[in-house]
């Protein structure tokens, strides 16, 4: 029987492997990909889709089409659990068991909802990226009737990009500009380089976006944003961009995990206990050096992951992954405004956005044309 390679998620770290499915199949292996959607969305362009710079078709990879065209099999479903001893992945809902010889996990991360209560339907999270399409429709529907208030909770990249792109969306559509309130904890963008923080603040304030630094948000109770100091703010739409956690599959499966629940992998991107299980992107905990949850690392892992999956199938030596140096940060703050930063160097303006747009479009083109 053919040896089977199974991929959970066609995320950013699996791009090179997906592009090479035909090569893996040509070597006599069977390849199967499990994903809850036929498409994988490129998160770096998600806020731009919200703002209307990009159409959904421009920022997504047709995973199913690519896998099947290259001779692999695609399963529309969600991996729920891994049985590492029987080498099975169990799907959510159907409980179907999918066997593997070598497994690679790129199931990404999610925004925890444990601080949200009530049944208010207008609370959105930045992930999955597709959610931003629903949020966009909701903004346009509600804003037609008058001035609405939108709360964006968080002061990480997704929060600031979402706030800026809500502004762009409303400006472009000519609708009454909502009150946009960004809840930035006690210290907006803390932990980021001072110059970058200063530039982002200036750009957002220039759009009339309010930045509140009056305390951390303790919970979202229906349409209310409740702060640790007891203050409450009502909103028509709430974006909870409160940070992400790795997929829960690994904790659920009893695999060795890091402190945040990510699959603990060694320098070969290989589970520290099961030599035939690998992973990349937001869903892993890289034991050597914990990595930020940014697409940059997932992208850098691609060639090593592809090499190691094939090497594991063929019994050849594995390659080490090195995370590399500091990465370039570019934020898309809407209306063509960007902020670019690396080390202590930073600048804001249309050029910063144009660089990001060029990098993102090139990435998409590389893997879509494969």
Ligand X SMILES: Cc1cc2nc3c(=O)[nH]c(=O)nc-3n(C[C@H](O)[C@H](O)[C@H](O)COP(=O)(O)OP(=O)(O)OC[C@H]3O[C@@H](n4cnc5c(N)ncnc54)[C@H](O)[C@@H]3O)c2cc1C
The residues of the shown chain that bind ligand X, judged by CB under 6 A, are 8-13, 34-37, 40, 43-44, 46-47, 78-79, 106-109, 126-127, 157-158, 161, 247, 249, 281-283, 293-296, 298
State both tokens at 285. Answer: 């905990």
Cβ 365 to ligand X shortest distance, Å: 17
| Neighbouring C-alpha atoms within 13 Å toward the C-beta of 81 | 13
298 closest CA partner among 277, 275, 327? 327
Run of H or E residues at 339:
strand 338-342
Task: Specify the residue for token string 């068991």.
Answer: 97
Asked whether the beta carbons of 329 and 342 are under 8 A apart, the reply is yes
Instruction: From residue 56, give the alpha-carbon distance in Å to each of 40, 45, 62, 131.
Output: 11, 9, 11, 11
Q: Kindly tell me the number of DSSP H helices and DSSP E strands found in the chain.
A: 10, 26
Q: Is 147 helix (H, G, I), strand (E, B) or coil?
A: coil
Cβ 276 to ligand X shortest distance, Å: 18
Q: Which is nearer to ligand X, 43 or 149 (CB)?
A: 43
Q: Which is nearer to ligand X, 106 or 253 (CB)?
A: 106
Q: Which is nearer to ligand X, 40 or 136 (CB)?
A: 40
Cβ 170 to ligand X shortest distance, Å: 18
Cβ 173 to ligand X shortest distance, Å: 20
DSSP secondary structure code for residue 178 in this structure: P
Cβ 26 to ligand X shortest distance, Å: 25
Q: Which is nearer to ligand X, 151 or 174 (CB)?
A: 151
Q: Which is nearer to ligand X, 227 or 296 (CB)?
A: 296
Q: Which is nearer to ligand X, 129 or 220 (CB)?
A: 129
Asked whether the beta carbons of 234 and 121 are under 8 A apart, the reply is no
Cβ 69 to ligand X shortest distance, Å: 18
Q: How far apart are CA 233 and CA 210, in angstroms?
A: 13
Q: Which is nearer to ligand X, 24 or 291 (CB)?
A: 291
Q: Which is nearer to ligand X, 284 or 318 (CB)?
A: 284
- CB neighbourhood size of 296 (10 A): 17
Cβ 328 to ligand X shortest distance, Å: 9
Q: Which residues contact 308 (CB under 8 A, 6 or more apart)?
A: 268, 269, 270, 278, 318, 319
Q: What is the DSSP string of 198-247?
A: HHHHHHHHHTT-EEE-S--EEEEETTEEEETTS-EEE-SEEEE----EE-
Task: Specify the residue for token string 């792109």.
Answer: 165
Q: Which is nearer to ligand X, 39 or 215 (CB)?
A: 39
Cβ 1 to ligand X shortest distance, Å: 24
Q: Which is nearer to ligand X, 36 or 256 (CB)?
A: 36
* DSSP bridge pairs for 40: 61
Cβ 355 to ligand X shortest distance, Å: 12
Q: How far apart are CA 188 and CA 250, in angstroms?
A: 33
State both tokens at 182. Answer: 């960004």
Q: How far apart are CA 166 and CA 240, in angstroms?
A: 14
Cβ 231 to ligand X shortest distance, Å: 27
């Amino acid at each position: 029987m053919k040896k089977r390679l199974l991929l959970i998620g066609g995320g950013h770290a699996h791009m090179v492997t997906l592009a090479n499915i035909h090569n893996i199949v040509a070597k006599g292996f069977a390849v199967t990909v499990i994903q809850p959607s036929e498409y994988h969305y490129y998160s770096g362009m998600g806020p731009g889709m919200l703002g209307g710079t990009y159409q959904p078709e421009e920022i997504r990879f047709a995973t199913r089409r690519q896998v099947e065209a290259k001779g692999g099999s695609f399963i529309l479903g969600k991996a729920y659990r891994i049985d590492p001893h029987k080498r099975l992945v169990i799907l959510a809902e159907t409980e179907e068991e999918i066997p593997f010889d070598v497994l690679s996990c790129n199931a990404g991360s999610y925004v925890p909802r444990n601080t949200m209560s009530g049944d208010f339907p207008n609370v959105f999270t930045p992930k999955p990226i597709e959610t931003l399409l629903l949020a966009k429709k909701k903004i346009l529907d509600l804003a037609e009737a008058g001035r609405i208030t939108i709360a964006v909770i968080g002061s990480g990249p997704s929060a600031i990009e979402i706030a800026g792109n809500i502004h762009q969306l409303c400006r472009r559509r000519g609708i009454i500009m909502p009150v946009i309130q960004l809840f930035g904890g006690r210290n907006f963008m803390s932990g980021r380089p001072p110059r970058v923080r200063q530039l982002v603040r200036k750009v957002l304030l220039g759009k009339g976006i309010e930045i509140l630094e009056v305390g951390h948000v303790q919970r979202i109770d229906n349409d209310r944003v409740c702060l640790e100091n007891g203050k409450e703010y009502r909103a028509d739409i709430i974006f909870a961009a409160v940070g992400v956690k790795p997929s829960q599959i690994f904790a659920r499966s009893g695999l060795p995990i890091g402190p945040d629940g990510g699959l603990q992998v060694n320098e070969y991107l290989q589970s520290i206990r099961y030599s035939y299980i690998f992973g990349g992107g937001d869903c892993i905990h890289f034991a050597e050096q914990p990595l930020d949850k940014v697409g940059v690392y997932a992208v850098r892992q691609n060639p090593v992951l592809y090499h190691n999956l094939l090497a594991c199938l063929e019994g050849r030596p594995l390659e080490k992954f090195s995370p590399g140096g500091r990465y370039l940060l570019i934020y898309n703050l809407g209306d063509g405004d960007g902020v670019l930063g690396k080390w202590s160097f930073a600048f804001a303006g249309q050029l910063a956005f144009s660089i990001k747009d060029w990098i993102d479009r090139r990435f998409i083109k590389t893997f879509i044309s494969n």
